Copies of this chain bind each other. A is one copy, B any other.
Amino acid sequence: MGRPVLTDEQIHAFRARATDAAMRLFVRDGYGGFSIRALAKELGCSHATPYRYFEGKDELFAAVRAEGFRRFTAFLRARLEGVAEHDARLRALAHGYFDFARREPEAFAITFEMSQPSEGWAFVDEAAAEGWGVLHEVVGGAAAAGVLEGEVNTLAHTMWAGIHGVATLHVAGKLRMGRTGEEVVAHMIDALIRAHAPAGQETKR
């Protein structure tokens, strides 16, 4: 007897609504300008209510990061939809990765920001692992088909780091001398594919 305990659905619904609104507030007020009280106002509840659904600000941030990873993964999957050829899939992945960073820089920053406590919340790692899965699958497919040569794990890490570097520098506003991120990412994926092309099958520069 007594008031009913919150169902898992209710908890999930609130958390989803909260992470969604938080993402919006990040975009509106910037990363540092975010406050849990502003979020509560946005949600139409008291400033202490979120504490029933999240351990605290850190877990809320972690939830936002996880959601960011999910959107990121979905975005990449959508870009790969219908692209069959392995070379084209690699390029679609690279440009999709970069476009996500360009079109939703806040979401990208929140998701991949260094020095952000993601440890201790498994759901963040899970969401991140799915994104990594897409990458690994595309690179693995290309390697299996002979488009790329080398150990798949190393290949995937290298591709990832290369693309991620361009996206990161772009979001941080560090690209200079009139170089746009699109140009650099195109050149990057080109170079990495070329570097790992099977011997005797080098593509033209």
Expressed in whole angstroms, the minimum distance between the Cβ of A195 and any Cβ of chain B is: 4
Measured in the bound complex, the distance between the Cα atoms of B202 and A109 in whole Å is 38
Interface presence of A28 (CB below 8 A): no
What band does the interface of chain A fall in when counting residues whose beta carbon is under 8 Å from B? 35 or more
Q: Is the CB of B168 within 8 A of A166?
A: no
Can you list 15 A-B pairs with a CB-CB distance of less than 8 A? A105-B115, A112-B172, A115-B171, A118-B173, A153-B177, A154-B183, A154-B187, A157-B184, A158-B187, A160-B169, A161-B165, A161-B184, A165-B166, A168-B168, A191-B195
Q: Which residues from chain A sit less than 8 Å from chain B, CB to CB?
A: 30-31, 105-106, 108-110, 112-116, 118-119, 128, 132, 149, 153-154, 157-158, 160-166, 168-169, 171-177, 179, 183-184, 187-188, 190-192, 194-196, 199, 202, 205
